[in-house]
Amino acid sequence: MTAIAYETVTDAAGGLPLLAPMSEVAGRMAVQVGARCLEKEAGGAGILLSGVPGVRPGRVCIIGGGVVGSNAARIAVGMRARVTVLDKNVRRLDALDQEFNGGLATVYATMDAIEREVLRADLVIGAVLVPGAAAPKLVSRATVAQMKPGSVMVDVAIDQGGCFETSRPTTHAEPTYVVDGIVHYCVTNMPGAVARTSAAALNNATLPFVLALAGKGWRRAMAEDQHLLAGLNVHAGRITHPAVAAALGEKVWRAEEAIVP
């Protein structure tokens, strides 16, 4: 078996072009579903994210300023919520500050800062990603217990194990559950709920790589494209991604060595 992972193919800018479309969809959906969960009937505190004249808007805390987080921020700011984005990459925070012209708050993501912002928030969106590895647990169970009743947590990182200690995978049929009065939305494959949009976006990003694999064969296609080669996780029993090898306690091979005939 030769296995190329969507989530580890790279591009010249250091991004993940095959993961980006689904991250864009999930980030934008996170605010949409979070706003719905804040409604009283859905178990939330009964807060309208945008507020109305004379009533303050809801607070949105986004942990992670990458593709998911930046797309969530665009929707949340567009809804006139009060938005804070936390990240450990100062350059990323600077880029978001410039993009939104000061329309959101950016905070360096220490554990103290995360706890402080989470406790203030009405909606918390977990948008962290460690390519090929499990997501770190950034919000503890103890912190969740101190949050405002009826607050909402949307864990977009649930496909990588989740970034909240209280997260567990849910389905589109039963998307939420409540822990300590806090509504959790932890649906795996969130983009599946908007399948038409997701499929079109994913096809656009995937097509060039599929054509290269079909037209050249996998060996030549990867030899000519280091970004496609970076997506290789397994070949003929040899694991070529460090995080996968570490998770399984196996040896990791350099991709170039693994595919030598």
- What pLDDT, in 10s, does the model give residues 163-183? 999 999 999 999 999 999 999
Which DSSP state fits 196?
Answer: H
**2-11+195-258 against 20-193: fold identical:** yes
Q: Pick the more confident residue, 107 or 8.
A: 107
Please check whether residue 87 is in contact with residue 64, taking contact to mean a CB–CB distance below 8 angstroms: yes
Please report the pLDDT score of residue 259 as a whole number. Answer: 83
Residue 237 has pLDDT above 70, yes or no: yes
Please give the Cα distance from 42 to 105 (Å, whole number).
28
Residue 86 has pLDDT above 80, yes or no: yes
Please give the Cα distance from 95 to 258 (Å, whole number).
38
Would you kindly state where each structural domain of the chain is located, as residue ranges?
A: 2-11+195-258, 20-193
Please report the pLDDT score of residue 76 as a whole number. Answer: 98
- What pLDDT, in 10s, does the model give residues 183-216? 999 999 999 999 999 999 999 999 999 999 999 9
Please report the pLDDT score of residue 214 as a whole number. Answer: 97
Q: Cα 9 from chain centroid?
A: 16
Residue 133 has pLDDT above 80, yes or no: no
The fraction of the chain above a pLDDT of 70, given in percent, is 99
Please report the pLDDT score of residue 243 as a whole number. Answer: 87
Q: Report CA-CA distances (Å) from 61 to 18, 20, 158, 221.
A: 26, 21, 17, 42
Quick one: tokens of 214? 């079909």
Please check whether residue 106 is in contact with residue 85, taking contact to mean a CB–CB distance below 8 angstroms: yes
Q: Cα 133 from chain centroid?
A: 13
Domain 2-11+195-258 = CATH 3.40.50.720 = yes
Q: What average pLDDT does the segment 224-239 reach?
A: 93
According to CATH, what is the number of the domain 20-193? 3.40.50.720
Q: What average pLDDT does the segment 223-229 reach?
A: 93
Please report the pLDDT score of residue 132 as a whole number. Answer: 61
